[in-house]
Amino acid sequence: MTDRIIVVLDNQPAPAAWGNAKVSFQGNTARIHLGEGDLYRQVQAAARQITAQGIQSVTLQGEEWDPVLQWRFACGFGTAKVPGEIEWASHDDQLEPQRDAQLWLKDLTNATPEALSPEVLADEVAERLSGLAPDHITSRRIVGDALLAAGWVGVHGVGRGSERPPVLLELDYNPTGQHDAPVSVALVGKGITFDSGGYSIKPSAGMVAMKCDMGGAATVAAALKLAIRRGLDKRVKLYLCCAENLISGHAYKLGDILHYKNGTSVEIVNTDAEGRLVLADGLIAANESGAERIIDAATLTGAAAVALGDDYNALFSLDDEAAEDALDAAAEVDEGLWRLPLEPFHADKCPSPFADTANSRAVKGGGTGGASNAAGFLSRFAGTPPKGWLHFDLAGSYADSDNGQHATGATGMGMLTIANLLLKA
């Protein structure tokens, strides 16, 4: 085989010598043999098989490659170490920006916890996005004890146990030229660059992949990057809540009570339910911006993954119209998204005798309904923006091992949906 392999789609079975193989090779050409059923999953699975042959560079060839099929191939191609090179069959202007944003998202999420501290994450996002539109972007960071002085008790509380300080990044993309332009969308991302669980410490096996706990921050940042490259003409604010959840003499403890800027008091009954604590600050800040719609994204609960596996992200909203917008946006870009229950009563599912609410339940895994209960907690801080609040629990954003559709590591699922929502705002 040559260094670069041509990949074509074929509606016929593989030659008899290949048996029931879904991919066959002849010279420098690989053929993906399509059968009945979901063609997109077949193509993505075939990309994994081609990758397994050590192939790192491909040319997609033929009129059969529509943009979604090409994208699904890209989602399955390559590894965390070697993402691979793809020459598109068509639609380069659409697919290349998507691929660029996806690879950035993956690089951020797959980076080691040592390399990606909270400050490094905030700086990388600010620098990369500012480089796209330097005349339209401003940003500021609130770092360390300055967070406490500013009232951002969630980010500060979770991150104070680390020697590397927590950060709240606020980035303002305003292409309108008007300093008082309304904020169309506020994006909030969970940026826990490593999650030990704190004093509610995780077992070692459960900690191995916890560099991915900043996947929400990477997802909303990459979505904004893609939307900007596609001509986003509305004002968007981005809030990244960045911290390391570690154990030390300075770390927050079970029984502590945090008093948030919106007047809500929260008892800590599980230091491993930290994501919702930092997102609460981001949601308060998003409301202060007056945003018409608020979108947050987080690798928030194992319960969402138990419910949906790794083929869907979970969606929560108290606004049916906003939820329909999100589901439509996901369908248009062929990303798995499933709405799970959220009602006003979920805000009261984590009661505390000492505060307005606890941050979880003091039982293993937070008890039943954990994903909805976490969303209910966030609803205390989400406000009622005119176009609704959308919470993405990113069950499908990271693969602990090669699963036949994705390589081990970040998948990028959710980025296209959120970028689509931004462009439709």
Residue extents of the structural domains in the chain: 5-90, 103-424
pLDDT in tens, 195-244: 999 999 999 999 999 999 999 999 999 999 999 999 999 999 999 999 99
Identify the band that residue 1 occupies on the pLDDT scale cut at 50, 70 and 90. very low
Structure tokens at 180: 């008082």
CATH 3.40.630.10 fits 103-424, yes or no: yes
Cα(34)–Cα(254) distance, integer angstroms? 54
Number of Cβ within a 10 Å radius of residue 208: 11
Percent of the chain with pLDDT over 90: 98
Residue 291 contacts residue 181 (beta carbons within 8 Å): no
Cα(396)–Cα(39) distance, integer angstroms? 20
Q: The whole model's pTM is what?
A: 0.97
164 a catalytic residue: no
Query: Residue 110: its pLDDT value, please?
Result: 98
pLDDT in tens, 158-190: 999 999 999 999 999 999 999 999 999 999 999
Is pLDDT above 70 for 2?
A: no
pLDDT in tens, 336-385: 999 999 999 999 999 999 999 999 998 877 889 999 999 999 999 999 99
Percent of the chain with pLDDT over 70: 100
Structure tokens at 401: 């091992």
Is pLDDT above 70 for 112?
A: yes
Query: Residue 137: its pLDDT value, please?
Result: 98
Cα(188)–Cα(283) distance, integer angstroms? 7
Name every residue whose Cβ is closer than 8 Å to that of residue 53 and which is 6 or more positions away in sequence: 25
| Strand pairing class (357-358; 265-267) | parallel
Identify the band that residue 284 occupies on the pLDDT scale cut at 50, 70 and 90. very high
Annotated catalytic residue within 41, 128, 202, 229: 202
CA 233, 286, 198: angle at the middle one, nearest 5? 125
Across the range 59-75, mean pLDDT stands at 98
User: What are the CA-CA distances from residue 232 to residues 174, 178, 184, 226, 284 (Å)?
Assistant: 10, 15, 11, 9, 24
pLDDT in tens, 311-341: 999 999 999 999 999 999 999 999 999 999 9
Query: Residue 362: its pLDDT value, please?
Result: 87
Across the chain, what does the average pLDDT equal? 97
Number of Cβ within a 10 Å radius of residue 40: 18
276 a catalytic residue: yes
**Strand ranges in 301-362 using DSSP code E only, listed in sequence order:** 313-316, 337-339, 357-358
Annotated catalytic residue within 276, 293, 349, 380: 276
Residue 166 contacts residue 118 (beta carbons within 8 Å): yes
User: What are the CA-CA distances from residue 290 to residues 153, 173, 183, 345, 384 (Å)?
Assistant: 21, 14, 6, 25, 10
Number of DSSP helices (H) and strands (E) in the chain, helices first: 13, 18
Residue 86 contacts residue 74 (beta carbons within 8 Å): yes
Residue by residue, DSSP assigns 322-380 as HHHHHHHHHHHTT--EEE----GGGGGSS--SSSSEESS-SSGGG-TTHHHHHHHHHHH
Name every residue whose Cβ is closer than 8 Å to that of residue 98 and which is 6 or more positions away in sequence: 71, 74, 226, 416
Residue 256 contacts residue 389 (beta carbons within 8 Å): no
Structure tokens at 421: 């929502």
User: What are the CA-CA distances from residue 300 to residues 128, 217, 378 (Å)?
Assistant: 25, 12, 11
